[in-house]
Structure 1
Amino acid sequence: MHLANHLLLLLAALLALSHGHLHPQHKGQGGTNSSHQQVPGTDEGSPSLRIAPGNTNFALRFYHLIASESPKKNIFFSPLSISAALAMLSLGARSHSQTQMLQGLGFNLTELSESDIHGGFQHLLHNLNLPSRELAMHVGSALFLNQDLPFLPKFLNETTAFYESRLFHTDFSDTVGTTQLINNHVKQETQGKIVDLVSKLSTDTLMVLVNYVYFKALWEKPFATSRTTHRAFYVDESTTVQVPMMVQDNEHHWYLHDRYLPCSVLRMDYKGDATALFILPNQGKMKELEEVLTPEMLRRWNNLLQKRNFYRKLELHFPKFSISGSYTLHQILPKLGFHDLFSPRANFSGITGQLKLQAPKSFHKATLDVNEAGTQATAATSSSTRFLSAQHSHRVLWFNRPFFLVILSGSTQSVLFLGKVVDPTQP
């Protein structure tokens, strides 16, 4: 009886909470550069900045598909983790399968060559993994390979060179032992926050690719724990829940009230090279705002919130919460243009020349914790008078209804995490 030869793609992302201190850097690797300074080599036109538009495009296409299928659920994922894993896998794809994967990731192959794309990820991952005393970040990949299968040296060398992947040879006939090996590795790399990523392996699996993101950061302006109290959060017109609400009323923040869109946007900086954008739709305007959530809109808000006149004193009320997301990518990605990836038509002859590989399943898990101490997850600009409403004498911002969140690496302009908080009491 013929058995399909399987490779399995697994992705884990973690935005982990911090209680005021950072864990020691993992194996000498840490995060990005020190507080809000430019990473060397991330000037305009650098390899990582060249792939940033494609990565953002993919992130929002992925988001809109999930949101359309589950409009009333929390959303949280790491587009960087998914994009890096798929780009790495494309090193072993050939012919139309490879082209389809790179185009599905949002890259225009008439403007970027295959080497530009992989060089961009190499530069991006190197910069994100630079050691830092202030920000703990570790982005990595691992390949678990059947110990008896001859993998092509070019594929193994390139995955290591471009994606800093670690290689493990294992006996996939021992499904229990291999499952434990993979889960222990992911648990270790995410500081124990993501466990049991793999629950059941098929005995005909030949390769497992795992990608993970660990991010732990402190707010530049932390909240006082003594001031956190339970307040109402309005999930929808008929549902209200109680959440621990953090408060600041004597700090300056970067924020704007959009004059042409029904929302407010808050920028909160972490210590280190990372920033969060929290987008709060006006009451009842979630769907309307969601429809215009585009890469251009993110760039516009981000550019505007670099201007000093948006840095003002604000009374801020923000929920303390934990959410997570789990996604079956083999059901989602074909709807985003990856038609061959999980079908018998897939051509992965660049991985091994002896057997026809197929990717039957792929999973992505991500978690987000936000507390008082911090978080453990170029375009046209215009003047402030055009985009802002009239200034108020007493500015108050209540995040007590559903909102969007975007976690960015400043120097590489990369979206690390993206999501929507509909009900902060739902894990």
Structure 2
Amino acid sequence: MMMMHAVVGLWVLSAVISANSVSLVRQANREFSFRLYRKLAADANSQGQNIFFSPVSVSTALAALSVGAQGETHRQLFSGLGFNSSFLTQTDVDQAFQTLLQGPNNASQGDANEGTALFLDDSFKPKPEFLQTLKQSYFTEGFNVDFSQTTESADTINKYVEEKTNGKIDKLVENLDSSTVMYLISYIYYKGEKVLWEEI
């Protein structure tokens, strides 16, 4: 009986920690959204222009990138996203994004589609845990390409994005460096007359 209470107590503690992580990531994403908007709006080329961007797509792509980062690069990604590393670990962030991205408000619908995709060079072999985390927590699709074949690789990426954006973005990539080993993209397609509000 005591073992049963210990297991239930551990499960409740785990659920509380997970809910707290989701809350911390959600708050950090809100603050990141406003910081990014202010930065975009302050740009001289944005003056008097409409600004349309998906802060969720940007924060998701950067958080996914942090999965494979270490050291100073990881610290800078976490800092830029507003994740306080004394409260959040990479695992906390991964689990929070999994919860947030699978929520009912974030499902792709007929006139809206967003996501991330990872294109890896055939010769590049990342750790399996990296790919598994991207797939499980960030719902990232993965593809192998031969980046030494720059034209073919660019065509593969462009066709993928064109399909995901219903033909609206048909030339995302124009030039690729043949030494590229990984290309992480984030895409969003939205067509509609009503305003969508994403809360993540």
* TM-score with structure 1 setting the length: 0.39
* Residue in structure 1 matched with residue 134 of structure 2 by the alignment: 159
Task: Specify the alignment match of 1:93 in structure 2.
Answer: 69
Secondary structure class of the residue paired with 1:205: coil
**Cα distance change of structure 1 residues 46 and 184 upon mapping to structure 2, 3 Å threshold:** farther
Which of the numbers 36, 52, 60 marks the counterpart of 2:26? 52
Contact 1:129 1:137 in 2 (8 A): no
Cα shift readout 1:268-290 (whole Å, capped 9, x = no counterpart): xxxxxxxxxxxxxxxxxxxxxxx
- Distance across 1 between alignment mates of 2:90 and 2:188: 24
**CA distance in 1: counterparts of 2:72 and 2:20, whole angstroms:** 28
The structure that has the greater radius of gyration is: 1
Q: CA deviation at 1:73?
A: 3.1
Is the Cα–Cα contact under 8 Å of residues 157 and 173 in structure 2 kept in the other structure? yes
CA distance in 2, matches of 1:97, 1:179: 27
- Deviation (angstroms), 1:131: 6.8
Percent identity between the aligned chains? 35
Residue 2 of structure 2 corresponds to residue 213 of structure 1: no
The verdict on how the C-alpha distance between 1:215 and 1:124 changes in structure 2, with shifts beyond 3 A counting, is farther
In 2, Cα distance between equivalents of 1:72 and 1:214: 24
- Higher strand proportion (structure 1 or 2): 1
1:299-310 paired onto structure 2 within 5 Å: none
Letter of the structure 2 residue corresponding to residue 184 of structure 1: K
1:3-55 residue CA offsets vs partner (Å, 9 max, x unmatched): xxxxxxxxxxxxxxxxxxxxxxxxxxxxxxxxxxxxxxxxxx47644422111
Q: Which amino acid aligns with 1:199?
A: E
User: RCO higher in 1 or 2 (8 Å CA, sep ≥ 6)?
Assistant: 1
5+ long unaligned stretches in structure 1: 1-44, 218-373, 378-406, 415-427
On the 8 A contact 1:125/1:139 being kept in 2, the answer is no
Q: Secondary structure at the match of 1:72?
A: coil
Q: What amino acid maps onto 1:61 in structure 2?
A: R
Show the 5 A alignment for 1:318-357.
none
Q: What stretches of structure 1 move > 6 A for 4+ residues in a row?
A: none
Match of 1:139 in 2: 114
Which residue, out of 151, 156, 163, partners 1:176?
151
The structure-2 alpha-carbon separation of the partners of 1:119 and 1:136, relative to structure 1 and needing over 3 Å to count, comes to: farther
Q: Which position in structure 1 is the counterpart of 2:39? A: 65
In the alignment, structure 1 residue 186 sits paired with structure 2 residue 166 = no
Task: Report the equivalent of 1:201.
Answer: 176
Q: Quick check: which one's helix share is greater?
A: 2
